[in-house]
Structure 1
C-alpha cells in the first residue's frame, strides 16, 4: 500500500509499504477514506519528538471503512468509523476511570521503557507518533491496523460526510477537553493562546460550556478572523502587548481561565522565546514555552490554567512562583478521546458544533509531502489540510 513515511527532519515521503494485517484478536483493518495533517505532526516534521525511525508511517487523525476484523472486534465489515488517536484497552485501572490517554496497555511493553525513562511512567499508545508512544503505524496511509477496535472507534451513521466527523479523531475532543478543563463558570472570561485547529475548537467549546467572553491570541490574521467568527475578541500579539491588553480588557483582574493551545514551538520575538530558540538549536533545551509562561502570568489569582498543547521535555524559566502565589490550578494531558466521541458526534448531528469551517485544502495522499510543507510554511492560509487516499 501507499503511506506517508518519516525519513528525518523536513523529510516525509509517500512510500510503498507492507499492507497491515490482523495481529491480535481485537484488531480491525481500516481502509482510510480521509486523514488530516495535525499541528502535532509538525513537531515530528521539525524533528522535536524523539524516538522516530526512518520509515515510520505518520498520521493520527483518520477515518474510514472496516475491511477486516479479528474475532475479538465488535466492528463489522463495511462500517464507517472514526478512530481516536489514543490507543486504549478499555480494561485497565485508568480506562476504568475514563482516563484513556493514560491506558496501561495501549503502549506495547517493549516500548514502555522509553517513556518511563523520560516521564517516569508510560502513556498510552498513539497512532503514528514515535516509538515512545508505541511505534504504531499511522493513518496517513491507504490502510491501517487499529488495535482494541472494540473500544476506540465510533461508528458513523450513513449520510454524514467524512469532513463533518473526521476531527472527532483528535482536534475536536482536544479543544473540548481544553475548555472543559477550565471549569468554566457563568460570566467567565477565557483567554486562548493560539488560534490553530485546537485553539479554534477550544474557543467554540468554551462558549458552548458557558463562557461569557473568550479572548483569542495569535498573529495570523486569517486565524484571528476565524476566532472572531465565533464571537471571540482578538489580540494580535505582534501589534499589541498581550499581558497589558488582557488586564485592560478584564478590568485589571485577568482572565478567569487561560488555555495554552500553542505548545513547544511558540512563535514571536520575545526575550524568553529567543533564549529558548537558542537553547533548542544548540541542544541545550527541547521546548519553547513562551505561551504557557505568558498564560500563567496573565491568569487572574485563583484562576484555572488548561494546557492541551504538546510539550516534549524539560523546561526552565517556568514561573512556578507566580503559579503558587496566585493559587492557580493546572489541568493538562493527552485527550481522553473515547470519553467524548458519542456526545460530540451527537452535537455535530444536531448542528450544535461546526467542524467544516476549518478545512482550507484537500489533497491526494500522494501529495502529502507538499501538504506538510504548506501547513508548515503558510499557517495563516493553511488552517487544515485533508488528505484523501485514492484522490487524483
Structure 2
C-alpha cells in the first residue's frame, strides 16, 4: 500500500509499505477514505518530538471502511464506516473504565522510555513516536486499529466523510478545551492559536455558552475564520496581547484562557520567546512556552487556563507564582476522544456544527509531502489539509 512515511526532520515521503495485518482478535483493518495532517504532526516534521524511526507511517486523523475484523471483535463488521480516535484505549483498565481513555494503561506496549521522561505513560497514539507505542499511522491506504471494539465510532447514514473526519482529533480536542473552562453565561474566553484546534475551540466555546471569545493569531486566513464564527480577533504581531485583553475586560482578565498552540509558539518581539528559541536551538530547553506564560498572566483571578497545545518536555520560566497567588485552575490532557464521541457525533448530526468548514486543501497521498511544507509555512491560505487515498 501507499503511505506517508517519516525519514528525518523535514523529510516526509509517499512510498510503498507492507499492508497491515490482523495481529490480535480485537483488531480491525480499515480502508482509509479520508485522513488529515494535524498541527501536532508538524512537531514530528520539524524534528521536535523524540524517538521517531525512519520509515514510520505518519498520521492520527483517520476514518474509513472496515475491510477485516479480528475474531474477538463483536462490535464491527466488514463494510462499516468508522471514525478512528487518535488515542488507543483498551476500554477495560483503571483509566478507561473511568472515562480517561487517553490514560489507558495497556495500549502502550513499551512504556519504559516515556516513563523516564514523563513519570508514567499515557495511552498509545497512532503515528506518534515510539515513546507512545510506535503504532503505524493513518496517512495511508489501510490502517490496523487495535482495540477496535472500543475506539472507532460508526458513522450514521447521511453524513459525509468531511463532516465527521475531525471527530478523530481536532473537534474533540477543541471541544474539551472549552469544556475544561466550565463556561458560565456572560463569560469571556481568550484562545491563543486559530489553527484547526483553535477554530474548533472557538465554536465549542460559543456552543457551551460563552458570551465573548477573543481569538489570538497573526495569519489572516485563520483570523478571518475566527471572525466568521463571531470571535473578536487580536493579531499578536500588531498588538500587545496582555494590555489588550486587560483593556477589553476592564482590567480583570479573561474568565478562561485556552492554549491551543503548544511547544512551537511564535511571538512578535517578546524577550521570553527569544530566549526560548535560543535555549531550544542550543539544547538547553525542550519547548517554547511563551503562549502558556501569557495565558496565565491574562487570566482573571480564580479563572481557568485550559491547555491542549502539545508540549513534550520540561518548560522553563512558567509563572507559577501568578497562578498560585491568584487562584488559577490549570486543566490539560491529551483528549480522551472516546468519551466525547457520542455527544459530538450528535452535535454534527443535529446540525449544531459542520467541522468541514476548516478544510482549505484537498489532495491525494502523493501530494502529502509537499502539503506538509505548505501547512507548516502557512502558505496558499492553508488551514487544514485532507487527503483521500
Does the pair score TM above 0.5? yes
- Please say if residues 20 and 29 of structure 1, whose CA atoms lie closer than 8 Å, have aligned partners that are also in contact: yes
RMSD: 0.8
- 1:6: how far off? 0.3
Look up the match of 1:86: 87
Look up the match of 1:103: 104
- Please say if residues 285 and 314 of structure 1, whose CA atoms lie closer than 8 Å, have aligned partners that are also in contact: yes
Hey, what's the Cα distance between the residues in 2 that align with 1:318 and 1:100? Answer: 28
- Please say if residues 14 and 366 of structure 2, whose CA atoms lie closer than 8 Å, have aligned partners that are also in contact: yes
- 1:15: how far off? 1.5
1:169 aligns with 2:164: no
Residues 102 and 132 (structure 1), Cα distance of their counterparts in 2 relative to 1, 3 Å cut:
same
Q: Could you say what secondary structure the match of 1:62 adopts?
A: strand
Hey, what's the Cα distance between the residues in 2 that align with 1:347 and 1:297? Answer: 33
- Please say if residues 374 and 380 of structure 2, whose CA atoms lie closer than 8 Å, have aligned partners that are also in contact: no
Structure 2: gaps spanning 5 or more residues? none
**CA deviations over 1:273-304 (Å, ceiling 9, x no partner):** 11111111111111000000000011001100
Hey, what's the Cα distance between the residues in 1 that align with 2:378 and 2:306? Answer: 27
Look up the match of 1:61: 61
- 1:186: how far off? 1.2
Q: Could you say what secondary structure the match of 1:344 adopts?
A: helix
- 1:185: how far off? 1.1
Hey, what's the Cα distance between the residues in 1 that align with 2:63 and 2:219? Answer: 29
Structure 1: gaps spanning 5 or more residues? none
- 1:159: how far off? 2.7
- Please say if residues 34 and 63 of structure 2, whose CA atoms lie closer than 8 Å, have aligned partners that are also in contact: yes
Trace 1:1-392 onto structure 2 (pairs within 5 A).
1-73=1-73, 74-108=75-109, 111-268=110-267, 269-378=269-378, 381-389=381-389
Hey, what's the Cα distance between the residues in 2 that align with 1:354 and 1:31? Answer: 24
Misfit runs of 4+, over 4 Å: none
Q: Could you say what secondary structure the match of 1:39 adopts?
A: coil
Q: Could you say what secondary structure the match of 1:370 adopts?
A: helix
Hey, what's the Cα distance between the residues in 2 that align with 1:114 and 1:311? Answer: 17
TM-score, normalising length from structure 1? 0.98
Hey, what's the Cα distance between the residues in 1 that align with 2:242 and 2:380? Answer: 23
- 1:158: how far off? 2.6
Hey, what's the Cα distance between the residues in 2 that align with 1:100 and 1:309? Answer: 18
Hey, what's the Cα distance between the residues in 1 that align with 2:205 and 2:335? Answer: 16
Q: Could you say what secondary structure the match of 2:301 adopts?
A: coil
- Please say if residues 220 and 380 of structure 1, whose CA atoms lie closer than 8 Å, have aligned partners that are also in contact: no
Number of residue equivalences? 387
Hey, what's the Cα distance between the residues in 2 that align with 1:226 and 1:367? Answer: 25
- Please say if residues 26 and 148 of structure 1, whose CA atoms lie closer than 8 Å, have aligned partners that are also in contact: yes
